[in-house]
Structure 1
Amino acid sequence: MHPHPHARTRTWAVRVMALLTAAAACLVTWAGPASAHGSLVDPASRHYGCWQRWGSDFQNPAMQQQDPMCWQAWQADTTAMWNWNGLYRMNLGGDFRAAIPNGQLCSGGHAENGRYNAMDVPGAWKATNIGGNFTIKLWDQANHGADYLLVYVTRQGFDPTSQAITWNDLQLLTKTGRYSPGQYYTVDLSTSGRSGRAVIYTIWQASHMDQTFFMCSDVNFVS
């Protein structure tokens, strides 16, 4: 016995609505970063690097073997990759040490209800090779401007593959002046006697409001 034509029409309508709902959900996910803020892109922050390498190929099972730290971050919270430019905290008044506990620096103290917690996990994050003199580049996608950037490096001997970062592990390289709103801000930096793995820790104090971004970038100092 064949179903009534109206029943077939209703079934088809339900399937169409389901497809449209799924498509709308995908659009929301993909559109998220477009209205957001920014991050360090060179050397890439952990969250930006994951999006850069896998954002267009996030279903590739090879991520688990080729980029295990991004894989664990993806498993922990799928939205962290899409919101690579939203790791910030509001209204800290510049008192970052009080607001962000040791071991939580890369997630900005569990910013955004813990979305970026996987960034705090020590491990074999992809590292950018740099020399003693290097330049960092921050992408201000929303043209917020900057009151200043604080740039730190982990002390010689610190092992980011096995240790979570504490404030005492950091050495201040520079505190910049203001940047007018634009797309990119660069800072030239210099170190001496460095070799091996390290983390560049950058704090971006935006100018449009008391909004602060936190970024861990894995590097490898080579001669």
Structure 2
Amino acid sequence: MNPSRTSPNDRAHHRPPSRLLWAFGLLSAVLLCLIPSVGTASAHGSVVDPASRNYGCWLRWGSDFQNPAMAQLDPMCWQAWQANPNAMWNWNGLYRDGSAGNFQAVIPNGQLCSGGRTEGGRYNSLDTPGAWKTTNVSKDFTVKLYDQAVHGADYFLVYVSRQGFDPTKQALTWNDLQLVKRTARYAPSQNYEIPVTTSGYSGRHVVYTIWQASHMDQTYFLCSDVNFT
């Protein structure tokens, strides 16, 4: 199933008569100015399994994001929704341009999950330590990424936080990460699967996925919370 609420490939079966095109375009422009930003503003992508922090919050609460029960049932998503709802509506836009592969230079420690407070700080809440909802994984698991815009990938880097790191109390740093997978190039598609083999991990961890897109120097930085069973 397409994770986006509306398919980017939908097309109308019939065009309006040509004499109405100008008026239709003008009306559309006016409506776009009036409607607040409550959808995915641009088509990019994210890790959908194990779900990235903001994609998981959108998946669980996107249709019920004003429910006060979230504060008790899912407190980390609650604080994220309160801080900036667009971090979830734009779950597919957590990227930086122009990193030139020098990720540790552009993203300070403690800001890894927000991509170095990218997009004007939209995703800052994702750096907050706490009991984020986890996905159960085994020592061998698959990272699944949805590329709505069909960018392709020069490569993916998949890290797992070291044993003993506690994401409920500590913000993620580069020293907390252990590289478990570096891939080759992926041809443009909408769905990628990255098989990962690990050993020695148990309990709660962060899977940190770096996606270097192929269409330009655009890099995605994605935190997923997991529980090794």
Q: TM-score range by the shorter chain?
A: 0.7 to 0.9
The equivalent residue for 1:183 is: 190
Q: For residues 23 and 73 of structure 1, what CA distance do their matches in structure 2 show?
A: 26
Deviations 1:39-84 (A, max 9, x none): 0000000011011111111111111111100100111112111000
The equivalent residue for 1:131 is: 138
Contact 2:203–2:227 at 8 Å: present in 1 too?
yes
Following superposition, the deviation at residue 142 of structure 1 comes to 0.6
Following superposition, the deviation at residue 29 of structure 1 comes to 2.3
1:89 matched to 2:96:
yes
Match of 2:206 among 199, 206, 211: 199
Distance verdict in 2 for CA 1:65–1:23, change over 3 Å: farther
Gaps of 5+ in 1: 1-19
Q: For residues 172 and 219 of structure 2, what CA distance do their matches in structure 1 show?
A: 18
The equivalent residue for 2:39 is: 30
The equivalent residue for 1:155 is: 162
Q: For residues 31 and 216 of structure 1, what CA distance do their matches in structure 2 show?
A: 19
Contact 2:49–2:144 at 8 Å: present in 1 too?
yes
TM-score by length of 1: 0.86
TM-score by length of 2: 0.84
Deviations 1:119-156 (A, max 9, x none): 00000000001111111100001100000000000000
The equivalent residue for 1:55 is: 62
Contact 2:159–2:177 at 8 Å: present in 1 too?
yes
Gaps of 5+ in 2: 1-29
Q: Does the residue aligned with 2:96 lie in a helix, a strand or coil? A: strand
Q: For residues 40 and 138 of structure 2, what CA distance do their matches in structure 1 show?
A: 36
The equivalent residue for 1:4 is: none
Following superposition, the deviation at residue 31 of structure 1 comes to 5.2
**RMSD over aligned Cα atoms:** 1.5
Q: For residues 86 and 130 of structure 2, what CA distance do their matches in structure 1 show?
A: 20
Size of the alignment, in residue pairs? Answer: 200
Contact 2:40–2:92 at 8 Å: present in 1 too?
no
Q: For residues 155 and 64 of structure 1, what CA distance do their matches in structure 2 show?
A: 29
Stretches (4+) displaced over 6 A: 20-23
Match of 1:66 among 62, 66, 73: 73
Write the letter of the residue equivalent to 2:53: R
Write the letter of the residue equivalent to 1:152: Y
Deviations 1:168-218 (A, max 9, x none): 000001110111110111111111121100000000000001000010000
The equivalent residue for 1:43 is: 50
Write the letter of the residue equivalent to 2:222: M
Q: Which has the larger radius of gyration?
A: 1
Write the letter of the residue equivalent to 1:25: I
Q: Does the residue aligned with 2:125 lie in a helix, a strand or coil? A: helix
Distance verdict in 2 for CA 1:91–1:22, change over 3 Å: closer
